[in-house]
Homo-oligomer: A and B are copies of this chain.
Amino acid sequence: MTDSSALASTSSTTGLSRTLTSALPEATPGKEVRLQGWVHRRRELAKVTFLIVRDRTGLAQVVLPAGTELPPEETPVEVVGTATANAQAPGGMELTQAMVTALSDPADTPAVELWRPTLDTGLPTLLDHAATTWRHPLQRAKWELAAASLRGFRETLDAQGFTEVQSPKLVEQATESGANVFQVDYFGRSAYLAQSPQFYKQQLVGVFERVYEVGPVFRAEPHDTVRHLAEYVSLDVELAFVEDHREVMACLRDVVAGMVTGIQGYAAAAVERLGLELPDVPEKIPTIHFREALEIAGAPADEPDLSPAHERALGDWAKAEHGSDLVLVEGYPTAHRAFYSHPDPEDPHWSRSFDLIFRGIELVSGAQRLHRYQDYVRTLEQRGYPYAPYATYVEAFKRGIPPHGGFAIGLERWVGRLVEAPNIREVTLFPRDLHRLAP
Protein backbone atom coordinates (compact mmCIF):
# COMPACT_ATOMS: atom_id res chain seq x y z
CA MET A 1 0.00 0.00 0.00
CA THR A 2 1.29 3.42 -0.86
CA ASP A 3 0.29 6.71 0.67
CA SER A 4 -3.51 6.78 0.53
CA SER A 5 -3.47 10.41 -0.41
CA ALA A 6 -4.15 11.70 -3.86
CA LEU A 7 -1.33 14.09 -3.08
CA ALA A 8 1.30 11.43 -2.60
CA SER A 9 4.28 13.12 -4.04
CA THR A 10 6.00 11.29 -6.80
CA SER A 11 9.72 11.73 -6.89
CA SER A 12 10.65 13.87 -9.82
CA THR A 13 13.71 11.70 -10.34
CA THR A 14 12.36 8.18 -9.81
CA GLY A 15 8.64 8.56 -10.55
CA LEU A 16 8.10 6.32 -7.52
CA SER A 17 5.27 7.18 -5.15
CA ARG A 18 5.85 7.35 -1.43
CA THR A 19 5.41 4.34 0.85
CA LEU A 20 4.54 5.06 4.47
CA THR A 21 6.61 3.10 6.98
CA SER A 22 3.45 1.45 8.31
CA ALA A 23 2.87 0.00 4.83
CA LEU A 24 6.41 -1.27 4.32
CA PRO A 25 5.68 -4.74 5.75
CA GLU A 26 3.17 -5.23 2.92
CA ALA A 27 5.60 -4.23 0.18
CA THR A 28 6.62 -6.90 -2.29
CA PRO A 29 10.13 -8.14 -1.43
CA GLY A 30 12.56 -7.15 -4.14
CA LYS A 31 10.52 -4.13 -5.18
CA GLU A 32 11.91 -0.62 -5.09
CA VAL A 33 10.35 1.52 -2.40
CA ARG A 34 10.52 5.23 -1.51
CA LEU A 35 10.29 6.37 2.09
CA GLN A 36 10.18 9.93 3.43
CA GLY A 37 10.69 10.86 7.04
CA TRP A 38 13.28 11.81 9.60
CA VAL A 39 16.55 10.21 10.63
CA HIS A 40 15.29 8.68 13.86
CA ARG A 41 18.53 6.91 14.66
CA ARG A 42 21.84 5.96 13.13
CA ARG A 43 23.71 2.89 14.35
CA GLU A 44 27.23 2.22 13.15
CA LEU A 45 28.23 -1.44 13.54
CA ALA A 46 31.42 -3.02 12.34
CA LYS A 47 29.95 -4.52 9.19
CA VAL A 48 26.85 -2.54 8.62
CA THR A 49 25.15 0.79 9.29
CA PHE A 50 21.52 0.90 10.35
CA LEU A 51 19.32 3.88 9.65
CA ILE A 52 15.94 4.05 11.35
CA VAL A 53 13.55 6.32 9.46
CA ARG A 54 10.52 7.78 11.25
CA ASP A 55 7.42 9.09 9.55
CA ARG A 56 3.97 9.94 10.89
CA THR A 57 2.95 6.30 10.88
CA GLY A 58 5.95 4.59 12.45
CA LEU A 59 9.53 3.45 11.96
CA ALA A 60 11.39 1.56 9.25
CA GLN A 61 14.86 0.05 9.15
CA VAL A 62 17.31 0.73 6.35
CA VAL A 63 20.48 -1.35 6.02
CA LEU A 64 23.52 0.40 4.56
CA PRO A 65 27.16 -0.49 4.08
CA ALA A 66 29.46 0.11 7.05
CA GLY A 67 30.85 3.59 7.06
CA THR A 68 27.98 5.19 5.10
CA GLU A 69 27.86 8.88 5.93
CA LEU A 70 24.40 9.78 7.19
CA PRO A 71 22.91 13.11 8.18
CA PRO A 72 22.32 13.58 11.91
CA GLU A 73 19.20 12.56 13.79
CA GLU A 74 16.06 14.61 12.96
CA THR A 75 17.22 15.54 9.47
CA PRO A 76 14.38 14.99 6.97
CA VAL A 77 15.37 12.42 4.38
CA GLU A 78 14.15 10.48 1.42
CA VAL A 79 15.25 6.87 1.12
CA VAL A 80 14.88 4.82 -2.04
CA GLY A 81 15.81 1.16 -1.68
CA THR A 82 14.77 -2.43 -2.09
CA ALA A 83 12.16 -3.99 0.18
CA THR A 84 13.77 -7.00 1.76
CA ALA A 85 12.21 -9.50 4.12
CA ASN A 86 14.06 -9.82 7.41
CA ALA A 87 12.41 -11.40 10.43
CA GLN A 88 14.52 -9.20 12.72
CA ALA A 89 13.38 -5.91 11.16
CA PRO A 90 10.30 -4.06 12.47
CA GLY A 91 7.31 -5.58 10.69
CA GLY A 92 9.55 -8.17 9.04
CA MET A 93 10.64 -5.89 6.20
CA GLU A 94 13.58 -3.55 5.76
CA LEU A 95 15.21 -1.55 2.99
CA THR A 96 18.51 -2.61 1.46
CA GLN A 97 20.59 -1.23 -1.44
CA ALA A 98 19.27 2.11 -0.40
CA MET A 99 20.05 5.67 -1.40
CA VAL A 100 19.53 8.32 1.26
CA THR A 101 18.95 11.96 0.28
CA ALA A 102 18.70 14.76 2.82
CA LEU A 103 15.67 16.98 2.23
CA SER A 104 17.01 19.87 4.28
CA ASP A 105 20.20 20.95 6.01
CA PRO A 106 21.63 18.67 8.73
CA ALA A 107 19.53 19.04 11.87
CA ASP A 108 20.97 20.36 15.10
CA THR A 109 21.08 17.89 17.95
CA PRO A 110 17.68 18.04 19.68
CA ALA A 111 17.38 18.88 23.38
CA VAL A 112 16.32 15.29 24.09
CA GLU A 113 17.23 12.01 22.44
CA LEU A 114 14.08 11.29 20.50
CA TRP A 115 15.17 7.81 19.49
CA ARG A 116 14.98 6.50 23.07
CA PRO A 117 11.90 4.34 23.69
CA THR A 118 10.69 6.72 26.39
CA LEU A 119 11.71 10.25 27.27
CA ASP A 120 13.12 10.67 30.74
CA THR A 121 13.02 14.45 30.62
CA GLY A 122 11.50 17.07 32.88
CA LEU A 123 8.35 18.85 31.78
CA PRO A 124 9.95 22.30 31.41
CA THR A 125 12.45 20.95 28.86
CA LEU A 126 9.70 19.13 26.99
CA LEU A 127 7.64 22.31 26.84
CA ASP A 128 10.49 24.66 25.99
CA HIS A 129 11.22 22.50 22.94
CA ALA A 130 7.66 21.38 22.28
CA ALA A 131 7.81 21.48 18.49
CA THR A 132 10.69 19.00 18.62
CA THR A 133 9.94 16.90 21.71
CA TRP A 134 6.36 16.14 20.61
CA ARG A 135 7.89 14.30 17.64
CA HIS A 136 8.57 11.37 19.93
CA PRO A 137 6.07 8.63 19.01
CA LEU A 138 4.74 8.41 22.58
CA GLN A 139 4.22 12.15 22.70
CA ARG A 140 2.70 12.48 19.24
CA ALA A 141 0.25 9.74 20.17
CA LYS A 142 -1.46 12.05 22.67
CA TRP A 143 -2.59 14.47 19.99
CA GLU A 144 -3.62 11.62 17.79
CA LEU A 145 -5.98 10.74 20.64
CA ALA A 146 -7.21 14.33 20.79
CA ALA A 147 -7.84 14.54 17.04
CA ALA A 148 -9.64 11.18 16.99
CA SER A 149 -11.75 12.22 19.98
CA LEU A 150 -12.84 15.33 18.14
CA ARG A 151 -13.85 13.27 15.14
CA GLY A 152 -15.97 11.07 17.40
CA PHE A 153 -17.41 14.09 19.16
CA ARG A 154 -18.53 15.72 15.92
CA GLU A 155 -19.76 12.54 14.28
CA THR A 156 -21.99 11.84 17.26
CA LEU A 157 -23.52 15.29 17.26
CA ASP A 158 -23.75 15.62 13.47
CA ALA A 159 -25.79 12.41 13.44
CA GLN A 160 -28.16 13.91 16.02
CA GLY A 161 -29.01 17.04 14.07
CA PHE A 162 -26.57 19.47 15.72
CA THR A 163 -25.10 22.42 13.85
CA GLU A 164 -21.49 23.43 14.37
CA VAL A 165 -21.10 27.12 15.17
CA GLN A 166 -18.31 29.57 15.96
CA SER A 167 -18.95 32.30 18.49
CA PRO A 168 -16.75 35.36 18.89
CA LYS A 169 -13.82 35.26 21.28
CA LEU A 170 -13.66 39.05 21.57
CA VAL A 171 -16.54 40.13 23.77
CA GLU A 172 -17.75 43.37 25.28
CA GLN A 173 -18.37 41.94 28.75
CA ALA A 174 -16.72 39.28 30.83
CA THR A 175 -18.77 36.15 30.12
CA GLU A 176 -19.68 34.84 33.51
CA SER A 177 -18.02 37.04 36.06
CA GLY A 178 -15.54 39.86 36.16
CA ALA A 179 -12.79 37.67 37.59
CA ASN A 180 -10.10 35.76 35.71
CA VAL A 181 -10.70 37.54 32.47
CA PHE A 182 -8.12 38.79 29.96
CA GLN A 183 -8.52 42.36 28.85
CA VAL A 184 -7.81 43.39 25.24
CA ASP A 185 -7.11 46.78 23.73
CA TYR A 186 -9.84 46.85 21.09
CA PHE A 187 -9.34 49.86 18.83
CA GLY A 188 -8.75 52.03 21.87
CA ARG A 189 -11.49 50.65 24.08
CA SER A 190 -11.65 47.60 26.34
CA ALA A 191 -12.74 44.17 25.22
CA TYR A 192 -12.36 40.78 26.89
CA LEU A 193 -11.46 37.29 25.80
CA ALA A 194 -14.45 34.97 26.11
CA GLN A 195 -14.21 32.64 29.10
CA SER A 196 -16.68 30.32 27.37
CA PRO A 197 -19.19 30.39 24.50
CA GLN A 198 -21.92 29.96 27.13
CA PHE A 199 -24.00 33.06 26.43
CA TYR A 200 -23.77 32.59 22.67
CA LYS A 201 -24.60 28.92 22.56
CA GLN A 202 -27.69 29.50 24.67
CA GLN A 203 -28.90 32.22 22.32
CA LEU A 204 -28.09 30.09 19.30
CA VAL A 205 -30.42 27.26 20.33
CA GLY A 206 -33.06 29.81 19.32
CA VAL A 207 -31.69 29.59 15.78
CA PHE A 208 -30.46 26.00 15.40
CA GLU A 209 -32.03 24.12 18.38
CA ARG A 210 -28.86 22.06 18.77
CA VAL A 211 -25.40 23.52 18.50
CA TYR A 212 -21.84 22.62 19.27
CA GLU A 213 -18.60 24.51 19.14
CA VAL A 214 -14.96 23.45 19.42
CA GLY A 215 -12.77 26.40 20.21
CA PRO A 216 -10.37 28.12 22.56
CA VAL A 217 -11.53 29.59 25.85
CA PHE A 218 -9.50 31.91 28.01
CA ARG A 219 -9.15 32.02 31.78
CA ALA A 220 -6.74 34.34 33.51
CA GLU A 221 -6.12 31.69 36.19
CA PRO A 222 -3.95 33.38 38.78
CA HIS A 223 -2.92 30.04 40.29
CA ASP A 224 -0.34 27.63 39.05
CA THR A 225 -1.94 24.19 39.27
CA VAL A 226 -1.54 20.89 37.44
CA ARG A 227 -5.10 21.07 36.09
CA HIS A 228 -5.65 24.63 34.93
CA LEU A 229 -4.53 26.46 31.82
CA ALA A 230 -4.95 30.07 30.74
CA GLU A 231 -6.14 28.89 27.34
CA TYR A 232 -7.69 25.55 26.54
CA VAL A 233 -9.93 23.86 24.00
CA SER A 234 -13.55 23.63 25.04
CA LEU A 235 -16.07 21.27 23.46
CA ASP A 236 -19.36 23.04 23.98
CA VAL A 237 -22.78 21.53 23.41
CA GLU A 238 -26.25 23.02 23.88
CA LEU A 239 -29.63 21.56 22.95
CA ALA A 240 -33.18 22.82 23.11
CA PHE A 241 -36.56 21.22 23.75
CA VAL A 242 -35.33 19.18 26.67
CA GLU A 243 -37.60 18.04 29.48
CA ASP A 244 -34.87 18.36 32.07
CA HIS A 245 -31.14 17.90 32.66
CA ARG A 246 -31.43 14.14 32.34
CA GLU A 247 -31.85 14.52 28.61
CA VAL A 248 -28.70 16.61 28.52
CA MET A 249 -26.89 13.90 30.46
CA ALA A 250 -28.09 11.31 27.93
CA CYS A 251 -26.57 13.44 25.18
CA LEU A 252 -23.32 13.71 27.14
CA ARG A 253 -23.23 9.94 27.52
CA ASP A 254 -23.58 9.52 23.75
CA VAL A 255 -20.88 12.11 23.14
CA VAL A 256 -18.36 10.47 25.48
CA ALA A 257 -19.14 7.06 23.98
CA GLY A 258 -18.64 8.60 20.53
CA MET A 259 -15.27 10.03 21.55
CA VAL A 260 -14.12 6.59 22.71
CA THR A 261 -15.41 5.07 19.47
CA GLY A 262 -13.54 7.77 17.57
CA ILE A 263 -10.31 6.83 19.31
CA GLN A 264 -10.86 3.12 18.66
CA GLY A 265 -11.55 3.81 15.00
CA TYR A 266 -9.07 6.54 14.18
CA ALA A 267 -6.25 6.27 16.71
CA ALA A 268 -5.92 2.55 17.34
CA ALA A 269 -2.16 2.72 16.70
CA ALA A 270 -1.74 5.50 19.26
CA VAL A 271 -3.73 3.50 21.83
CA GLU A 272 -1.48 0.51 21.28
CA ARG A 273 1.70 2.58 21.39
CA LEU A 274 0.65 4.11 24.71
CA GLY A 275 -0.67 0.82 26.09
CA LEU A 276 -3.90 2.54 27.05
CA GLU A 277 -6.97 1.07 28.55
CA LEU A 278 -9.91 3.04 27.22
CA PRO A 279 -12.91 3.58 29.46
CA ASP A 280 -16.06 1.54 28.91
CA VAL A 281 -18.98 3.91 28.55
CA PRO A 282 -22.06 2.08 29.87
CA GLU A 283 -25.51 2.70 28.37
CA LYS A 284 -26.23 4.59 31.54
CA ILE A 285 -23.35 6.15 33.43
CA PRO A 286 -23.70 5.61 37.21
CA THR A 287 -25.49 8.70 38.51
CA ILE A 288 -25.77 9.95 42.06
CA HIS A 289 -27.20 13.04 43.68
CA PHE A 290 -24.83 15.62 45.10
CA ARG A 291 -26.04 14.73 48.63
CA GLU A 292 -25.05 11.10 48.14
CA ALA A 293 -21.77 12.21 46.61
CA LEU A 294 -20.88 14.10 49.78
CA GLU A 295 -21.72 11.05 51.89
CA ILE A 296 -19.63 8.74 49.71
CA ALA A 297 -16.73 11.18 49.83
CA GLY A 298 -17.06 11.42 53.60
CA ALA A 299 -17.70 15.16 53.43
CA PRO A 300 -19.98 17.16 55.72
CA ALA A 301 -23.58 17.41 54.44
CA ASP A 302 -23.35 21.20 54.17
CA GLU A 303 -20.35 21.34 51.84
CA PRO A 304 -21.29 23.57 48.91
CA ASP A 305 -19.13 21.84 46.31
CA LEU A 306 -16.88 18.85 45.71
CA SER A 307 -13.18 19.36 46.27
CA PRO A 308 -10.52 17.60 44.16
CA ALA A 309 -10.12 15.10 47.04
CA HIS A 310 -13.87 14.39 47.01
CA GLU A 311 -13.75 13.86 43.26
CA ARG A 312 -10.92 11.37 43.68
CA ALA A 313 -12.93 9.51 46.33
CA LEU A 314 -15.94 9.40 44.01
CA GLY A 315 -13.77 8.09 41.21
CA ASP A 316 -12.55 5.29 43.45
CA TRP A 317 -16.08 4.55 44.58
CA ALA A 318 -17.40 4.34 41.01
CA LYS A 319 -14.59 1.98 40.06
CA ALA A 320 -15.10 -0.22 43.11
CA GLU A 321 -18.91 -0.25 43.13
CA HIS A 322 -19.74 -0.10 39.45
CA GLY A 323 -16.48 -0.98 37.68
CA SER A 324 -16.87 2.39 36.01
CA ASP A 325 -14.30 5.06 35.12
CA LEU A 326 -17.17 7.52 34.88
CA VAL A 327 -19.65 8.81 37.41
CA LEU A 328 -22.25 11.56 37.06
CA VAL A 329 -23.09 13.76 40.03
CA GLU A 330 -26.34 15.70 39.63
CA GLY A 331 -28.18 18.27 41.73
CA TYR A 332 -25.39 20.54 42.95
CA PRO A 333 -26.63 23.32 45.27
CA THR A 334 -28.21 26.03 43.13
CA ALA A 335 -26.54 28.86 45.01
CA HIS A 336 -23.10 27.50 44.12
CA ARG A 337 -23.65 26.95 40.41
CA ALA A 338 -23.65 29.53 37.63
CA PHE A 339 -26.66 31.84 37.84
CA TYR A 340 -28.16 30.46 34.62
CA SER A 341 -28.51 26.95 36.10
CA HIS A 342 -32.08 25.72 36.37
CA PRO A 343 -33.21 24.98 39.92
CA ASP A 344 -34.94 21.70 40.63
CA PRO A 345 -38.65 22.66 40.64
CA GLU A 346 -39.29 20.12 43.43
CA ASP A 347 -36.70 21.72 45.68
CA PRO A 348 -35.00 24.84 44.34
CA HIS A 349 -32.18 24.48 46.85
CA TRP A 350 -30.78 21.91 44.42
CA SER A 351 -30.16 22.56 40.75
CA ARG A 352 -30.67 20.61 37.56
CA SER A 353 -26.93 20.61 37.06
CA PHE A 354 -24.35 17.88 36.84
CA ASP A 355 -20.65 17.15 36.63
CA LEU A 356 -19.09 14.16 34.97
CA ILE A 357 -16.16 12.78 36.92
CA PHE A 358 -13.72 10.75 34.84
CA ARG A 359 -11.14 8.75 36.77
CA GLY A 360 -11.48 10.99 39.78
CA ILE A 361 -11.35 14.41 38.07
CA GLU A 362 -14.18 16.64 36.94
CA LEU A 363 -14.20 16.48 33.15
CA VAL A 364 -17.54 18.04 32.27
CA SER A 365 -19.94 20.55 33.79
CA GLY A 366 -23.47 20.88 32.54
CA ALA A 367 -27.04 21.71 33.39
CA GLN A 368 -30.48 22.54 32.24
CA ARG A 369 -30.48 26.35 32.01
CA LEU A 370 -33.08 28.94 32.87
CA HIS A 371 -35.08 29.83 29.75
CA ARG A 372 -37.54 32.50 30.96
CA TYR A 373 -36.57 36.14 31.04
CA GLN A 374 -38.17 36.76 34.45
CA ASP A 375 -36.22 33.90 35.99
CA TYR A 376 -33.01 35.57 34.87
CA VAL A 377 -34.04 38.94 36.23
CA ARG A 378 -34.97 37.38 39.58
CA THR A 379 -31.78 35.35 39.81
CA LEU A 380 -29.53 38.28 39.03
CA GLU A 381 -31.34 40.27 41.73
CA GLN A 382 -31.11 37.50 44.29
CA ARG A 383 -27.39 37.18 43.68
CA GLY A 384 -26.84 40.90 43.75
CA TYR A 385 -25.43 40.93 40.21
CA PRO A 386 -25.86 44.15 38.20
CA TYR A 387 -28.27 43.91 35.28
CA ALA A 388 -26.43 46.08 32.75
CA PRO A 389 -23.47 43.81 31.93
CA TYR A 390 -25.88 40.92 31.26
CA ALA A 391 -28.56 42.95 29.45
CA THR A 392 -27.97 41.70 25.88
CA TYR A 393 -27.81 38.10 27.02
CA VAL A 394 -30.74 38.23 29.41
CA GLU A 395 -32.97 40.10 26.98
CA ALA A 396 -32.49 37.36 24.41
CA PHE A 397 -34.77 35.30 26.66
CA LYS A 398 -37.64 37.67 25.93
CA ARG A 399 -37.63 36.42 22.36
CA GLY A 400 -38.60 32.81 22.80
CA ILE A 401 -35.87 30.48 23.92
CA PRO A 402 -37.14 26.95 24.56
CA PRO A 403 -36.18 24.86 27.58
CA HIS A 404 -32.56 23.85 26.97
CA GLY A 405 -29.37 22.66 28.51
CA GLY A 406 -25.83 21.77 27.66
CA PHE A 407 -22.35 21.04 28.81
CA ALA A 408 -18.68 21.71 28.14
CA ILE A 409 -15.81 19.23 27.96
CA GLY A 410 -12.20 20.31 28.33
CA LEU A 411 -10.26 18.58 25.56
CA GLU A 412 -6.94 18.61 27.39
CA ARG A 413 -8.54 17.22 30.56
CA TRP A 414 -10.10 14.42 28.54
CA VAL A 415 -6.79 13.40 27.00
CA GLY A 416 -5.03 13.99 30.30
CA ARG A 417 -7.26 11.46 32.06
CA LEU A 418 -7.05 9.00 29.17
CA VAL A 419 -3.27 8.85 29.46
CA GLU A 420 -3.36 9.59 33.21
CA ALA A 421 -1.01 12.53 32.86
CA PRO A 422 -0.13 14.05 36.23
CA ASN A 423 0.00 17.53 34.69
CA ILE A 424 -2.36 18.92 32.05
CA ARG A 425 0.56 20.62 30.31
CA GLU A 426 1.78 17.19 29.20
CA VAL A 427 -1.19 16.91 26.87
CA THR A 428 -1.24 20.52 25.64
CA LEU A 429 0.72 21.35 22.49
CA PHE A 430 1.77 24.83 23.58
CA PRO A 431 0.42 25.48 27.09
CA ARG A 432 -0.36 28.95 28.37
CA ASP A 433 -0.26 29.74 32.07
CA LEU A 434 0.78 32.35 34.59
CA HIS A 435 4.41 31.89 33.59
CA ARG A 436 4.35 30.49 30.09
CA LEU A 437 3.48 32.41 26.94
CA ALA A 438 5.97 30.74 24.57
CA PRO A 439 6.82 28.84 22.49
Contacts and interface: CB of A to CB of B under 8 A. Distances in A.
A237 B164 CA distance: 20
Given A135-B206, A215-B216, A171 B437 contact: yes
A293 interface: no
A9 B215 CA distance: 28
B74 A7 contact: no
Interface stretch (A103-111, A316-324, A349-357, A418-426): A103-111
A169 B230 CA distance: 11
Contacts of A210: 56
Interface in A383-407: 392, 396-403
Given A187-B220, A215-B215, A392-B438, A6 B170 contact: no
Interface residues of A, number: 108
A147 interface: yes
A358 interface: no
B9 A241 contact: yes
Interface stretch (A58-66, A86-94, A177-185, A298-306): A177-185
B172 A437 contact: yes
A396 B36 contact: no
B132 A206 contact: yes
Contact of A169 (B103, B207, B231): B231
25 contacts: A4-B161, A7-B247, A7-B250, A9-B247, A56-B209, A56-B210, A103-B402, A104-B403, A105-B373, A108-B398, A131-B399, A135-B206, A140-B208, A146-B164, A150-B164, A166-B233, A168-B231, A168-B429, A170-B432, A172-B438, A183-B185, A186-B230, A187-B434, A200-B429, A203-B439
Given A167-B430, A214-B214, 14 more contacts: A5-B161, A7-B247, A10-B243, A39-B400, A57-B161, A74-B400, A76-B400, A105-B373, A131-B203, A143-B165, A166-B216, A168-B430, A186-B220, A392-B438
Interface of A: 3-7, 9-10, 12, 18, 20, 36, 38-39, 55-57, 74-76, 103-105, 107-108, 110, 131-132, 134-135, 140, 143-144, 146-147, 150-151, 154, 158-161, 163-172, 182-187, 189, 191, 193, 200, 203-204, 206-210, 214-216, 218, 220, 222, 230-231, 233, 239-243, 247, 250-251, 254, 266, 371-374, 392, 396-403, 411, 429-430, 432, 434, 437-439
